[in-house]
Amino acid sequence: PRFRNYSGGNLFSIAVPENWRELAEGDSITFAPEGGYGAVQGAFVFTHGTQVGVAQVNGRSLRQATDEYLYNLSQGNRNLRRQSAYQSERVAGRDGLSIVLSNVSEANGEREFVTIYTTQLRNGGLLYLIAVAPEREYRSYQRVFQRIVTGMQVND
């Protein structure tokens, strides 16, 4: 796919497929293709795409901060299950982590894979990128997700 640039204020810039919509919600922004997002019982959900945001966490190390973020994320979704151990990654040109989770989509009841990428900001915040696709389509999205993560830039 062809990509377009998006600027997250002064904090980050990211390149996403040009046919993905940007959907801002609270302190995060989601990029998803048409049909890859919606509302379930008044809550925003997405089945395909990525979400970028910053979480304020207490963990001092990247691993502790990511553990805390995952714990908080799982409190709102009891179907999240770890599918891998943490992997060292380059996230926006920095040291980062990734972990693959499985989930049952609230939108359609299908099994999906969720990869969480994290890196720490200087102020202690945790920059995260969530990549989601149904299990049956995940492999075809992996290359796009990897390009988004490696091409992201952080300005802090």
Is the pTM above the cut of 0.85?
A: yes
Rg (CA), the chain: 14
Residue 54 confidence (pLDDT): 93
pLDDT tens for 12-22 read 999 999 999 99
Look at residue 141 and tell me whether its pLDDT is greater than 70: yes
Q: In sequence order, which residues have a C-beta less than 8 Å from that of residue 94 and are 6 or more positions away?
A: 119, 120, 154
Interval 95-118 mean pLDDT: 93
**3-state secondary structure (DSSP) of residue 143:** helix
CA 59 to chain centre: 19
CA 95/CA 93 separation, integer angstroms: 7
Nearest Cα neighbor of 106 from 80, 138, 128, 71 is 80
pLDDT tens for 39-83 read 676 667 888 999 999 999 987 899 999 999 999 999 988 899 999
CA 58/CA 85 separation, integer angstroms: 21
Residue length of the chain: 156
Residue 51 confidence (pLDDT): 94
Residues of the chain above pLDDT 90, percent: 70
